[in-house]
Amino acid sequence: MDSTACAALAHRALGDRLVCFFLDTGFMREGEVEEVVRLLESLGLPLQTLRVRDRFMDSLRGKTDAESKRLAFRETFYTILGEAVKGAGCEILIQGTIAPDWIETSGGIKTQHNVLEQLGVNTKDRFGFRLLEPLLDLYKDQVRAVARHLGVKEASERQPFPGPGLLVRCIGEVKKAKLESLRRATTIVEKHLVSLPSPPKQYLAAIVEDDRSPAGSELEGALKKVIPAGRAFYLKGLATGVKGDDRAYGKILLITRGPPDPSDQFGLPEKMIHADRGIVRVLYALPGPRNRGDYVVIVRAVETRDFMTVKPSVIPPNVLRPIALGILKDERVSVVAYDLTSKPPATVEFE
């Protein structure tokens, strides 16, 4: 959304002197590469699509830590862009970095892939181009207003999707089968939630290994005061969050055997964090058949103006049920859970 608005703005300023690059990283959603190409070409933008999936996958192999993954993505991203800029004979790279990107990156919460100068990186020396970032002062809702003003209506209404894409929703190491299950689950979540009368401001799926350990008696004691039959487990994967303006990279707690409506439990994360400060996310298992699969799929839907703070969306159980059942048809998935966590202490994306 930000990149498209930025490209439309740059096209208006520069006309034929502009070249647009779209990186097919391998972390796009189902059908998204074709969709983005169609959208950008319909705006009359001179587009070059770079098919670079293998280079990203190679740079990420064996990496499990969220920041290592983000840094590897950024490095590959700009190495490829540097080559493309040079090949096209350009001197300046214009990119759609917006306020939350540099605020979160320079605040050390997470390294957004599109922030360089604010970290003191000299892009001319390092990658061979000067940077222009016209949207730097704006938030998502303001970028939508810019896109509407420029007459790119379809772009202004597009669901936000992060630059590193499914990579930051594939918690821990990226593997081919895990990514396939995530892509399939993403399609199901989006299909059901976009058709609600008032869709959440953001809605997505994430995936993590179903490797559980019991959360211990203190935490279960705190849980049972709220949900008497509930059980609590730590998953092995870690998630990114923000607590008191500091980065948090911590535990994901999975609550099982609760009543069916997660929106009754939005106060739970605070109580769980008071019992264990290392927790960053609290997930709530949705009812469904028990599979023997390897992965937990997480459904996240949030309400927000500007993505700096968010609260979980109220999604009725009768909407969540077919989502869970649809995702559980994938035999690699053992359980589908709803994310109860606001921002702070979590972030919108998982890594």
Partner 1 sequence: MNIPVVFMGGQYNHLIVRALKELGVESRLIPPSTPLEALKVDGLIMGGGPRSVSDGLEKFGAMPGVIRGCPSPLLGICLSHQLIGKVMGGEVVKGRLPEYGKTVIRVIDEDDILRGIGPRFTAWASHNDEVQKNHGNFAILADSEYCGVEALKVDGRAVYGVQFHVEVADTPMGKHILRNFISLYRS
Interacting residues with partner 1 (CB under 8 A): 99, 103-104, 107-109, 139, 242-246, 269-270, 273-274, 277, 304-306, 308-311, 341-345
CA distances from 89 to 8, 10, 11, 49, 82 (A): 21, 17, 17, 17, 11
Cross-strand partners of 333: 295
Closer CB to partner 1, residue 130 or residue 243?
243
| Shortest CB 103 distance to partner 1, Å | 6
| Shortest CB 346 distance to partner 1, Å | 9
Closer CB to partner 1, residue 229 or residue 314?
314
Q: Is 162:349 a contact under the CB 8 Å cutoff?
A: yes
Of the candidates 275, 223, 228, which has an alpha carbon nearest to the alpha carbon of residue 254? 223
Would you call 67 exposed, middle or buried from its count of C-beta atoms within 10 A (0-12, 13-18, 19+)? middle
| Shortest CB 53 distance to partner 1, Å | 33
| DSSP string of 243-285, one letter each residue | ETTEEEEEEEEEEES--S-GGGGTTHHHHHHHH-TTEEEEEEE
Identity at 26, one-letter amino acid code:
G
Of the candidates 39, 13, 309, 333, which has an alpha carbon nearest to the alpha carbon of residue 177? 333
| Shortest CB 351 distance to partner 1, Å | 18
Closer CB to partner 1, residue 231 or residue 247?
247
Closer CB to partner 1, residue 99 or residue 170?
99
Closer CB to partner 1, residue 81 or residue 346?
346
The owner of tokens 């918690």 is 171
| Shortest CB 257 distance to partner 1, Å | 25
Closer CB to partner 1, residue 63 or residue 243?
243
| Shortest CB 216 distance to partner 1, Å | 19
